[in-house]
Structure 1
Amino acid sequence: MDVSAAVWWLTILGIVALLLFDFFFHVRKSHVPTLREATVWSALYVGIALLFGVGVWLFGGPTPGAEYFAGYVTEKALSVDNLFVFLVILSSFKVPRAEQQKALLFGIVFSLIARTGFILVGAALINMFAWVFYLFGLILLLTAGNLLKPEGEESHSPDNLMVRVARRLLRTSDTYDGDRLFTVQDGKRVMTPMLLVMIAIGGTDILFALDSIPAIFGLTQNVYLVFTATAFSLLGLRQLYFLIDGLLDRLIYLTYGLAVILGFIGVKLILHALHENNVPFINDGEPVKVVEISTGLSLSVIIGVLVVTVVASLSSPKGRAKSTVSAVRRHVQEYLDVEHDPKVREEIFAKLLAEEAQLKKLPVRYRREIRDEDKLTALLRRAHEEREEHEEHEEQDEHDRA
């Protein structure tokens, strides 16, 4: 599929316009998105991506259309998996809920810029060296194997190399000043922790790109399709974070589904590499007659695996139990150490009471799997004590006014 320079520029300008609209109309003013807001805008961005795919299908043909949809679905699934790490980063840095949007949008913009660079490098390597397909396939197979290893939330450290360097070079305040990057402390202008959060998200996303770019090149080698599928999978990711926040921990089998998909694409890449082979020590540098996996089959496998993964996760009692425990731990930390807005604290405490009741109803076999249960119990006790003290202060204030 040939794409003119005019279409390239229109596409880039459209994506930039969407990002600017997102910033000026949603992120510029700090607030916690409502469920309705997150749902409407998530659906809108998915709708734009699907309409774009229909346009590719109509004007470019069925094969490019199927390649775009396969790439978009794969990148979207990988971006949802990335939200787990973003959640850990935002929780570790104790970012207030209303201020999280700017950090997430920065992460999306940084990711788009970084991945565009990776896409251009990947395309150049593919054009120069056919053996790159072997390398991409090996990367995906190794990634799939690593995804199958058991890991917990604590394995995703927000304190990566970029953050450690930034901590040494940059002087930041101990507290946030809204979503500002700079504040005044002791009469001096200093950076806020928000900058470190953005560096952590941006630095982590570079690692994500090392997996996702080989994956989409395994589905299409058309640079325009690779770029647009990647870009549209990232647009709306901020809204999706707030929409499925409570469901993230329910997707306990998503990692296994992604491992299957990446492994499948890795095999597809290696088969394609064999078909295009010119490596001297493989079949004397001649192409190997192998069966190549069609784009239609790839799209079917990707969608099928994701549907099975999501349905199995949402219907799993273990997933519901894990989701409850994670929600309790996250909300009690937000109530005690993160949020200071009285209205937001009220909403969090109401959620915490409902989740705590669910926690007590968990079967014994699931309660045994709770990590640091004694610590979690102590935090809950502290939250209730703070709540009681707050109510006593309010009663005293009402009595004094009377």
Structure 2
Amino acid sequence: MQVTPLIWIITIAVTIAFFVYEFFAHVRKPHEPTIGESARWSAFYIGLALLFGVGIGMVSGWTYGGEYFAGYLTEKVLSVDNLFVFLLLMSAFAVPKAYQQKVLMIGIIIALILRGAFIAVGAGLIENYSWVFYLFGALLLVLAWRQAFGSHDSDPTNNRVMRFIRRHLPVTDEYNRDRLTVKKDGRRFVTPMLLTIIAISLIDVIFAVDSIPAIYGLTSEAYIVFTANAFALMGLRQLYFLIGGLLERLVYLSQGLAVILGFIGVKLVFHALHVNELPFINGGHPVEWIPEIPTWLSLLFIGTTIAVAAAASLLKTRGDRAAEGSEGQDEPELSPDARPQR
């Protein structure tokens, strides 16, 4: 795939322009977005991402187009998982609804910067060291296990970083609009808004470690990796307010994501064996009989896994609600005549 420096510059400039517009048009003035506003902008960004993928397919071939769509789907699922953690953070820090947009926007921008840095590092490693595919594959298999069986119940307001900040900086428990610091009695205090942003930044680092090896397991093209990540993050703020209630019903999202990460981890290990140069594996020669998993199969597997996880989640929560309703109806009500007499 031929991508000139000019195309890179235009792509990065347009991406920055979108986020600048988002800030000045929607985030600068604190407010809670309506469902209609969130739905319109979510549809716009998803449609834009799909059109971009079609453009890649028409210009560079549908092999690259398929890699983009597989990468975009994976990054979108990872981003929705981000949203679930963001929701927990917002609740833990009791961020007022009107100020959540600013926190989300800053978190998304930090995520894009971190992923951009990881993309550059990953591209350099892949170009010079074929053994890095083994490392990425092993990392994804570990992350898949943690995603499926790890615990997410730790208190983000009382972890080591938050305790360190509280020990060394004066912190107020009250919000002062969307300000990060506030001056009281001549002394500067850190507000919970800044603590929330720091917590989200730490989460962004963790998700960047998940995200970049995952998409490099689907494509080796840095341009596709960057654009798939950028489009997955665009509209994430609106999606948060649109599906905030639905997030709690996606009970099998972590398991679905674990299956996807595990699949890509195996795909990376297969690819590493196929291009092997390590002397202690097959004498430093490629393992020819190992199959390469094609892009169309990756796209089909990822899409099917997402659909199954979403459908199973909704069926599970619907069944739980029906069971709770039937239990409430089964409780007998005493008639006036059957009530105990004093």
TM-score, normalisation: structure 2: 0.91
Flag the 1:362–1:103 CA change in 2: closer, same or farther, 3 A: farther
User: Would you say the 8 A contact 1:88–1:158 is kept in 2?
Assistant: no
Question: 1: distance between equivalents of 2:246 and 2:80?
Answer: 11
Output aligned runs, 1:3-402, within 5 Å: 3-149=3-149, 151=151, 154-155=153-154, 157-289=156-288, 290-317=290-317, 321=321, 361=325, 363=327
Q: Which amino acid aligns with 2:218?
A: L
Question: 2: distance between equivalents of 1:221 and 1:83?
Answer: 27
Question: 1: distance between equivalents of 2:296 and 2:189?
Answer: 54
Structure 1: tracts of 5 or more residues without a match: 322-357, 365-402
Q: Which amino acid aligns with 1:208?
A: F
Q: Which amino acid aligns with 2:304?
A: G
Question: 1: distance between equivalents of 2:192 and 2:62?
Answer: 48
Deviation at 1:253, TM superposition (A): 1.0
Deviation at 1:360, TM superposition (A): 7.0
Structure 2: tracts of 5 or more residues without a match: 329-342
Deviation at 1:217, TM superposition (A): 0.3
User: Would you say the 8 A contact 1:160–1:200 is kept in 2?
Assistant: no
Q: Which amino acid aligns with 2:44?
A: L
SS of the equivalent of 1:189 reads: strand
SS of the equivalent of 2:41 reads: helix
Question: 2: distance between equivalents of 1:240 and 1:53?
Answer: 20
Q: Deviations over 1:267-301 (max 9, x none)?
A: 10000000000001000000001111001110011
Question: 2: distance between equivalents of 1:310 and 1:49?
Answer: 21
Deviation at 1:191, TM superposition (A): 2.8
SS of the equivalent of 2:182 reads: strand
Q: Which amino acid aligns with 2:77?
A: A
Q: Which amino acid aligns with 2:93?
A: F
User: Would you say the 8 A contact 2:156–2:199 is kept in 1?
Assistant: no
- What root-mean-square deviation, in Å, do the aligned CA atoms of Structure 1 and Structure 2 show? 1.8
Deviation at 1:171, TM superposition (A): 2.5
Flag the 1:245–1:124 CA change in 2: closer, same or farther, 3 A: same
Q: Which amino acid aligns with 2:266?
A: V
Partner of 2:340: none
Flag the 1:320–1:10 CA change in 2: closer, same or farther, 3 A: farther
Question: 2: distance between equivalents of 1:109 and 1:359?
Answer: 42
User: Would you say the 8 A contact 2:68–2:228 is kept in 1?
Assistant: yes
Q: Structure 1 stretch 180-189 or stretch 42-51: which is displaced more?
A: 180-189
Question: 2: distance between equivalents of 1:112 and 1:210?
Answer: 12
User: Would you say the 8 A contact 2:252–2:310 is kept in 1?
Assistant: yes
Flag the 1:9–1:132 CA change in 2: closer, same or farther, 3 A: same
Question: 2: distance between equivalents of 1:320 and 1:109?
Answer: 37
User: Would you say the 8 A contact 2:140–2:214 is kept in 1?
Assistant: yes
Flag the 1:252–1:302 CA change in 2: closer, same or farther, 3 A: same
Question: 1: distance between equivalents of 2:182 and 2:36?
Answer: 33
Q: Which amino acid aligns with 2:217?
A: G
Flag the 1:73–1:204 CA change in 2: closer, same or farther, 3 A: same
Partner of 2:332: none
Q: Structure 1 stretch 289-298 or stretch 141-150: which is displaced more?
A: 141-150
SS of the equivalent of 1:250 reads: coil
Deviation at 1:255, TM superposition (A): 1.1
Deviation at 1:148, TM superposition (A): 2.0
Deviation at 1:51, TM superposition (A): 1.3
Question: 1: distance between equivalents of 2:63 and 2:285?
Answer: 27
Question: 2: distance between equivalents of 1:362 and 1:245?
Answer: 26
Question: 2: distance between equivalents of 1:72 and 1:160?
Answer: 32
Matched residue count: 327
Flag the 1:19–1:319 CA change in 2: closer, same or farther, 3 A: farther
Question: 2: distance between equivalents of 1:13 and 1:133?
Answer: 31
Question: 1: distance between equivalents of 2:218 and 2:159?
Answer: 31
Question: 1: distance between equivalents of 2:320 and 2:98?
Answer: 26
Q: Which amino acid aligns with 1:149?
A: F
Q: Which amino acid aligns with 2:75?
A: E
Deviation at 1:316, TM superposition (A): 1.9
Deviation at 1:182, TM superposition (A): 2.4
Question: 1: distance between equivalents of 2:167 and 2:127?
Answer: 41
Question: 2: distance between equivalents of 1:116 and 1:362?
Answer: 51
